[in-house]
Structure formats: structure tokens, C-alpha cells
Amino acid sequence: MRVLSGIQPSGSLHIGNYLGMMKPMLEYMDRSTLFVFIVNLHALTTVTEGDKLAKGTLDAAADFLALGLDPDRCIFWVQSDVPEVVELSWILTCIAPMGLLERCHSYKDKIARGISPNHGLFAYPVLMAADILLYQSNLVPVGKDQKQHVEVTRDIALKFNNIYGETFVIPAPEINDEVATVPGIDGQKMSKSYDNTIEIFLGEKDLKRKVMSIKTDSTPVDQPKNPETCNLFQIYRHFAPRQRIEEVLRLYKEGGAAYGTIKKELVGILWDFFRDAREERARLLKDPGHVRDILAKGAQKARDIAQDTINTVRKRVGLVY
């Protein structure tokens, strides 16, 4: 089984990225053929500073490696290093129905948040479809907000197969309901777009500042609280030891849960949880040439597979004559 997922280098990795993508990816390394890539072409829809994108790409690669991604047990590369994806995206664009793309809520949501509309944002689902179909992916772990894009990929693949014959594997989305929507410090989904994230590799002072600003209600300490609707607990439960989670859960239900105390505890938990990764990341960034070599080797492995697919597609659509 082939499992594929990617992330934009448009900002620092945060704990929502770790829970929603990185942790599942690490688990897939030993039980599937895992494809993990940095989607820098997608990032062009919102990042217009070349230096920022280049640095973000290298930083994201170091983040992945520091968190435990093993390039010898998966295929790990940068999206733009496999140019076949752009060719496939254009071919798919030529059969993608306008109505299908116009119904995509992600584009509407981004425009509503003040992001300048451009064709890249609108056609984002087609490039994502090319990412998935180029490697004949079976499974695509995504958050709830990306599920529709995988469904668009399925529709496009089915239409292509119907027109040109069986060519693409029809992928399926996978959503882990426990981490499908990790709340940010303001209660919305944790997202760089909302500026409500807790970054993994923050300094200790900045980590404390972010955690202490997590929005909570005004329920008195001695009163029962609902852990299911508490942003703080929904983050805390993913990182604290199981026994401690049960103790805090009891305090929520019976009374006695002090938000300030739990926040301070969470600062220490997160700082210790990512300690080894933080040290490994610093080591990797001291030798960026090594990181680039890892990505180049991964790109070659990805390209070997991509070329098989694109050669078949070219023949099917008539670009080989």
C-alpha cells in the first residue's frame, strides 16, 4: 500500500502538524510504502518572498528529519524537484470540471480570510490531485479541511480513467478523528492561516507565552468543567502521561481544575516532549548540504515512479506520436 502526505513550507511546524500528520507518518514507515514531500509549489499561492520560501523549505526538511522521519524507510523529497507533477497537473486541468472546483470550500474560506484570489489558489485541488495520482497513492491521511480535495482527486481520476482507460489508482482519504481538528490557542483549528499555533521548535520563553495565552472560559476553579469543549485540555491530552490525563480529567468533571496550573504544566510537558527533536534539528541546520543531499536522493526515487506514470499518461492522451 502506498501512503502519501505533504506539508507546505509556509511557516514553522506546529503541534497540530505533528499530531495530524507527522505522528501518523512515522507510524506508517514500517507498514507501507510511505511518500512524504514538502509542497513548495503549493506554497507559491501565498508566499511571494523567494528567500522566505527557500529557507522555509530547508527548515521544513530539517523539522521532518528531526522528528524522526527516516529517509531510508520512506521517500522524502521537495515537490518542485519532480517536474512531472506540473505536467500532470496541466493534463488534469484540461478535464477537471469548473463546477467541481467552484464547489471547493477551501478557496472560498481563504478568500473570506482576506487572502488575495489568484488562479493558483483556485486550481490548488488539481495540483494536489497530480501530487496524489502521480505516485499511484492508495491512502492520503488528511485533516477534515482537506478531505474535499481528496474527493476532488477521486472524481478527476475516475473521469480520466473513463475517458482514457484505467490509468490511476483511486485514492482514499484517511482522517484520524482524534486529531482531525486540533484547536489552536484561540479555539479555532490550529492553523498558520489563523495565526493561532503553538510551534514545535519555539524557544522556552516563547513557548510559555503561547501556552499561557490559550483561550479558556471563566468557570471558577472549584466548579466542574467540560473537557470536551476546553481548548486547553484538548491539547493537553495529546502529550501528558496517561495517568496524569486521568487525574486532570477527574478534576475537570468534579471541580478543582485550575487553568493556570494546567497551562504551566503543559509548558514543561511540551518542552520535554520535543527536547531530542529540538537538539537534532539544530544539528541538521548546521549542515544544510547534508539535508539537501537527502532531499536530492529522495527526489530521484520519487521521480523514477513519477516518470512511469507520466509516460503512461502521455501515451493515453496522445502526447506521444
Start-to-end Cα distance in the chain: 33
CA–CA separation, 285 and 193 (whole Å): 26
CA–CA separation, 64 and 277 (whole Å): 9
C-alpha cell at 45: 499561492
| Coil/strand/helix, residue 114 | coil
DSSP string, 171-226: -EEE--TTTTT-B-TTSSBP-GGGT---BTT--HHHHHHHHHT-------TTS---
Q: Find the catalytic residue in 52, 55, 108, 110.
A: 110
Q: Find the catalytic residue in 189, 208, 225, 263.
A: 189
Q: Find the catalytic residue in 52, 147, 192, 315.
A: 192
Are 236 and 266 contacting, i.e. CB atoms less than 8 angstroms apart?
A: yes
301 is catalytic: no
192 is catalytic: yes
CA–CA separation, 296 and 282 (whole Å): 21
* Rounded (5°) CA angle 234-180-250: 25
225 is catalytic: no
Are 270 and 239 contacting, i.e. CB atoms less than 8 angstroms apart?
A: yes
Beta partners for 265?
A: none
User: Which residues are catalytically annotated?
Assistant: 110, 189, 192
